[in-house]
Amino acid sequence: MHNSATNLFKLDFADERVDGADKVTGKAKYTAEYNLPNMAYAVFVTSTMAKGTIKNIDTAKALASPGVLDVIYYANCPTVPGYLTNAAERPKNVFEWRGHKVLHDNQVRFFGQPVALIVADSLENANAAIRLVRPEYVPEKFETNFDSARKNSANLKGTVNYKRGNETAFKTAPIFIEAEYSIPAEVHLPMEMHATIAFWEGEDKVTLYDKTQGPKSTQSTVARTFGLLDKNVRVIAENVGGGFGSGLRSWANVPAAVIASKKLNRPVKLVLTRPQMFSLVGYRPQSWQKIGIGADATGKFVGITHEAISGTSRYEDFREGIVNVSKFLYACDNVDTKYSMLPLDMSTPVWMRGPGEATGSYGLEAAIDELSYKLKMDPVELRLKNFTTVNPENKLPFSDINLKDCYAYGQEKIGWKNRPATPGSLKENGWLVGYGMANGVFGAGKGSASVRALLNKEGKLILECAVSDMGPGTTTSMTMIASAAMQMPIEKVKFKLGDSDLPPGPSQGGSGTTSTVGSAVDLACTTLKQNLKDLAIKYAPAFSAFKSEALEVKNEMIVVVADPTFKIAVVDLLQLSPEKQIDLTIASSGKTAEQLKFTSNSFSSHFVKLAVHPKDGTIKILQVVTTGDAGKIISPKTARSQMIGGVVGGIGMALSEQLEMDHASGQIINASFGAYHVPLHSQIPPTDVWFVNKPDVNMNSIGAKGIGEIALIGFAAAVANAVYNATGKRVRDLPITPAKLGFKAKV
């Protein structure tokens, strides 16, 4: 992969991943790699029907199999307080388990649902016993076909309407388009499979190693499900090998491991298989959208309508904010949106990178592109015509928005001036060539977090927070924030995370970690510096006459501002103090009243140049320029990696990824990397990543916003728009394939 550098500043040692060496050398341990004394191994037996009841499960042969310790299923599963559906029967500190209650009853709700858990003395013995477990099923009629089910409005639920102005304005506009767009279900497929190791210490204390994006969230879930105190549940997730949203909630592997460990009184490890990753840990739901946009002759939007339906499971509701982007990204007085869920006999979907907006932006940005051709107007110019600095939905100004800068850079670097106004008219080396662009937007959140800061007698700073790092570089970013705030070498700063015993931090999702935890780190460092100045005045005789404002902390020294030669080293000062160190824990809250006067978002604009072979429809992306408006960029290297990851995900979304079902059986038929097509390295083009890199002073103390979501949001639309520009054929049903472009499959 050949990718150009960012426009920020020279990447030096200070921007290296602080955990990079441990990861590439194998020193970093992931959940499934931990091995505990006397550990047992568990595997799921999964259903071979999509819906119905289990009449009986014959476990005799499995129990007689070598090494098998137990087979747990609905008939012998211990009572789990959180599985009780009657609130009156549950203890006060217990909440009902959200989602499928694994091993609890004889109901089958989706194909591949766990119906039993085999526990053995080795993984090999556990796997060997799977075929010996004999469930007797009573099947029922089921529905997994989204496209046929959505056509009957009686199947829909949870409809939410939003109206602003005249809902029919778009149809009365001089120029308008109305089109339908669809996206299949997509799967997260992080490199690391979901896994849990559970072991009990007595009757009321349990420790888990778990692949989770939120140690504190998992701690709370387990405590509330099993009737335990939070302090008696410890969740460790020091390293997480990707997640993309699949780790934002606890799945069946968590309670199953806890149940088995309690029942057998020994540690139990449960690791999902790759095929199980397709059905047991969520997915981006299949969706359908209908979008109408009307404009006057100048291109000014007159009205927008956006209707969307997305799938959910029959036993649990999962909503997607698909239509939200149409309410606020562009200036428009008349907006009408409608969203509904469609229950199916499948497992529950979950948040996936850019949840809601990735889907909605595909439809909206493709529709805007279609409108631009009707108007005979450049797609960038059309977006500029409808640019706004005020959120039209809530009337609050954006805390900062620099999309115009993104447009300028993207147009220049992609060679936008070469884009043909007439689709299908440009050829290079015998290939049809096209250009496309689209925008992305996602809310910039700032929640609460606590950070412990320990400045020890050696002058090293240790920071702790129970956040996780699933790969974006949180450890590096937090270390860099502290290093810059304290003006001390990055090698002397260590950030510890991934343990629920640490001060509380948020789950890593929704692009809010840097803003939330980074603000807490910054506040902790500000407090540390104040404490150091106070110590200097109190314990260093030469500083006793100075006021705090006259001092500053820099380069591991306390310095008199008016006379920098008058100073004392931090390590020397700490030796003068009774404690010989500073140890404090600081809590940072969410947005302040002043910050709430603004709408905060991160923005992106993606530009794509691609080629389509005129004989077989092969699509080859030639160049990508992806731009981000996300406030101050803390770690350019990891931020750039985030954007490239979004490009890769966007290419998959646009051209190849889809969950395929056999609707006769309800079974997923492409549950492997061989059949579910993620992009290959050879398909990733030269990618120019650029950031505005302007601190958002209205957002937080560090001026930073999230990148993870906007890296993907809008990219699929940019590809789709480029395909149309190259061929003159508009494909609205992702993924775009040669067959959908009208080319016959190769034999």
pLDDT digits (tens, 9 = 90+) for 652-673: 999 999 999 999 999 999 999 9
Question: pLDDT per residue over 25-68, tens digit each?
Answer: 999 999 999 999 999 999 999 999 999 999 999 999 999 999 99
Dist CA 705 CA 443 (whole Å): 9
Given a cut of 60, is residue 210 above it in pLDDT? yes
Three-state SS at 682: helix
Q: Which fold has domain 1-11+396-444+592-747?
A: Aldehyde Oxidoreductase; domain 4 (3.30.365)
Question: pLDDT per residue over 410-426, tens digit each?
Answer: 999 999 999 999 999 99
Dist CA 49 CA 81 (whole Å): 28
Specify the CATH number of the domain 34-140+189-278: 3.30.365.10
pLDDT averaged over the chain?
96
Q: Which fold has domain 449-590?
A: Aldehyde Oxidoreductase; domain 4 (3.30.365)
> From start to end of 563-716, where are the E strands?
563-569, 582-588, 601-612, 619-629, 661-662, 667-668, 687-691
Identity at 494, one-letter amino acid code:
K
Dist CA 450 CA 735 (whole Å): 43
**Tokens 């429809």 -> residue:** 617
Dist CA 541 CA 566 (whole Å): 12
Report the candidate in 556, 549, 554 with the shortest Cα–Cα distance to residue 534: 549
CATH 3.30.365.10, the chain: domain bounds:
1-11+396-444+592-747, 34-140+189-278, 144-177+290-392, 449-590
H or E stretch including 303? strand 301-313
Q: Give mean pLDDT, residues 625-651.
A: 97
> Which tokens sit at 366?
């493709």
Per-residue model confidence (pLDDT) at position 16: 83
Given pLDDT bands bounded at 50, 70 and 90, which one contains residue 633?
A: very high
Given a cut of 80, is residue 351 above it in pLDDT? yes
Report the candidate in 521, 482, 712 with the shortest Cα–Cα distance to residue 602: 712
> Which tokens sit at 600?
């905060």
Per-residue model confidence (pLDDT) at position 168: 85
Given a cut of 50, is residue 625 above it in pLDDT? yes
CB atoms within 10 A of CB 427: 13
Question: pLDDT per residue over 456-514, tens digit each?
Answer: 999 999 999 999 999 999 999 999 999 999 999 999 999 999 999 999 999 999 999 99
Question: pLDDT per residue over 289-334, tens digit each?
Answer: 999 999 999 999 999 999 999 999 999 999 999 999 999 999 999 9
Dist CA 214 CA 509 (whole Å): 9
Per-residue model confidence (pLDDT) at position 170: 87
- Give me the percent of the chain exceeding a pLDDT of 90: 95
Given pLDDT bands bounded at 50, 70 and 90, which one contains residue 744?
A: confident
DSSP letter for each residue of 690-712: EE-----TTT-TT-B---TTTTT
Ordered strands of the 114-120 beta sheet? 68-72, 114-120, 40-46, 268-271, 195-200, 206-210, 233-236
Per-residue model confidence (pLDDT) at position 3: 36
Q: Give mean pLDDT, residues 262-268.
A: 98
β-pair partners for 499:
236
Per-residue model confidence (pLDDT) at position 510: 94
Given a cut of 80, is residue 204 above it in pLDDT? yes
Per-residue model confidence (pLDDT) at position 171: 87
Per-residue model confidence (pLDDT) at position 745: 64
At the second CATH level, the architecture of 144-177+290-392 is 2-Layer Sandwich (3.30)
The residues, ordered by sequence, that sit 6+ positions from 80 with a Cβ below 8 Å of its Cβ are 97, 101, 104, 225, 226, 255, 259
Q: Give mean pLDDT, residues 258-285.
A: 99
Signed CA dihedral, 479, 481, 486, 491: sign only: positive
Per-residue model confidence (pLDDT) at position 167: 83
- Of residues 651 and 17, more confidently modeled: 651
Question: pLDDT per residue over 549-562, tens digit each?
Answer: 999 999 999 999 99
Report the candidate in 43, 80, 31, 417 with the shortest Cα–Cα distance to residue 190: 31
Identity at 535, one-letter amino acid code:
L
Question: pLDDT per residue over 1-30, tens digit each?
Answer: 333 333 333 334 457 899 999 999 999 999
Is residue 432 within 8 A of residue 426, CB to CB? The reply is yes
